[in-house]
Chains A and B, each alone.
Chain A
């Protein structure tokens, strides 16, 4: 500590440079982690909400009776498959759910739809147009928003704002007119804010011609004490479906894997770069200090003393750099969250910061390990 602190004070510029690089990498990592989590949340929020409401499994079927596919764009769940799942021991609930994306038009003045809910809105006053993720659910199901009924729609907050409507107003989509039953906190599916309709209305909005088709997938709740894996296998065998837990179903979202994979790979590179920067800096620093270290050893410093001193020095610079970087990133992230999908929590701030610190310390150990090989004889004789 005696020498480490004095070296830090003496070579402030040099260590500040290293600390600044560590801080910048930490800023990048925390920002990237926050963005990855934010984009991920915008992809999967509706599934996470369903899981929180009690869904344990997501069940996929095949298109028009084909082999089941884990894809939210290709899967179809039929009434027969729902019934087969409902008969499996350990299944507490089976709820088909429709998922699709489309245009939503907010109407500034009311129109009168026909008995099927259709209306000509070509001349109507428009409050706003938005892209919505239509989620068709059985009204009253655990993951359905409260107050939803046939002919009604519940909107995510940002969707209602974009469409210029509030509860009681009307919206139109695919020639159908629905009344806004409520506006709730944002939920997302594939980067699009969610609009909940009844399953009946969803099949109409998406022009599903086959009456047997109930939705895109089914959400299955497993009874308390039942083995989810066993239930999953039994359900798939009985219904000819493909079931998986909710997090595994993320990969069935279009572009989720490539998007998340790219961002995670960038994070990996940044972790690697942070360790390399520390190794490079401390290696050069140690080489420059060769004669000093030889002198310390010749004066009676044990290798352990020299090693501890060098590691402490690296640790202090790393800790300061990571702390400053995290603080800056948290501030920048809070600002960015207003404009881009960004999640600011322990997982996106403390975790990457600890990652940089841990890898940096490992890099420090690697770099300063060479002090063990420095011969104190170097201090004697001038070479």
Chain B
């Protein structure tokens, strides 16, 4: 089992921005961070599953990909091409048939389920297609919750998470709505909370699943622009699955997936 270096994570609630080395590594076209280690590295990834009729479907076919810290990458392709499968494997939600995924130098695919969950909480931010906000929590609490999920966070860390949450909400113009619950927010506001919630733990990798599918054109453009800004500010390596190819001006790189194969990587 690969050991996880958790030292930086204990301070994320006190220190909103990334480690200096990760920020320094940010660059629009860079595929590697300082020291030659990409924030997300996917190698020869294969994902197969039975289709229920005795055949095996290959959702991912020898996919390899490197994402550097501070870069914003879009992943496009037709429905069923394997985009979401790649996101799920990169998030550690699905185990691949073969191949490896490294997140911030740790081999995610070699970890047992509990450790994968832990790494996801510490190093990976997930922006869901639907905001999936918890109805009982205010916008600020949605963000603070992530500190409470971290079993290593101290009481002081959890208290400090409030300031970090407010800071993130301010950056997406939601400070005035910090005490509102999801049903009191508009669709665009909910999606912005969804995005900053994923950034609460200052993740190395931000995985974004079709964030504009439920938004109109104006809000879609704003959300993608916001993701680009936050990616650079937070120094995360962002991989966004999207169908909206018209709003890709804000991304550094666009990859296309067809039949489980990646092009443009």
Contacts and interface: CB of A to CB of B under 8 A. Distances in A.
User: Are these two chains actual partners, yes or no?
Assistant: yes
B77 interface: no
Contacts of B221: none
Interface stretch (B29-37, B45-53, B59-67, B113-121): B113-121
A291 interface: yes
Contact of A380 (B84, B121, B141): B84
A199 interface: no
Given A377-B88, A380-B91, A301 B117 contact: yes
A2 B213 CA distance: 31
B134 A292 contact: yes
B120 A300 contact: yes
A3 B134 contact: yes
Interface string A342-383: 000000000000000000000000000000000111011110
Nearest to B213: A382
B11 interface: no
A3 B129 contact: no
Contacts of A7: 136
Contacts of A302: 114, 117-118, 149, 151
B93 interface: yes
A380 B88 contact: yes
A14 B181 CA distance: 18
B129 A300 contact: no
Nearest to B84: A381
A300 B134 contact: no
B209 interface: yes
Contacts of A67: none
A350 to B, nearest CB: 33
A380 B129 contact: yes
B141 A298 contact: no
Contacts of B146: 299-300
A295 B134 contact: yes
Interface string B104-125: 0000000000100110111010
B121 A9 contact: no
B224 interface: no
Contacts of A295: 128, 132, 134
A287 interface: no
A327 B201 CA distance: 46
Interface size class of B (residues with CB under 8 A): 35 or more
Contacts of B94: 377
Nearest to A11: B136
A377 B59 CA distance: 16
B151 A381 contact: no
Interface string B131-148: 010111100010011101
A376 B209 CA distance: 14
A379 B130 CA distance: 8
Given A379-B128, A380-B88, A380-B126, A2 B118 contact: no
B145 A2 contact: yes
A300 B91 contact: no
A379 to B, nearest CB: 6
A305 interface: yes
A305 B93 contact: no
Interface in A297-349: 297-303, 305
Given A6-B137, A296-B134, A376-B117, 7 more contacts: A2-B148, A6-B141, A10-B135, A300-B118, A300-B150, A380-B126, A380-B209
4 tightest Cβ-Cβ pairs between the two chains A and B: A300-B121, A10-B136, A2-B148, A295-B132
Interface of B: 84, 87-88, 91, 93-94, 114, 117-118, 120-122, 124, 126, 128-130, 132, 134-137, 141, 144-146, 148-151, 181, 197, 201, 209, 213
17 contacts: A2-B141, A3-B137, A295-B134, A296-B149, A299-B120, A299-B146, A299-B149, A299-B197, A300-B146, A300-B149, A303-B114, A305-B149, A305-B151, A380-B84, A380-B126, A380-B209, A381-B209
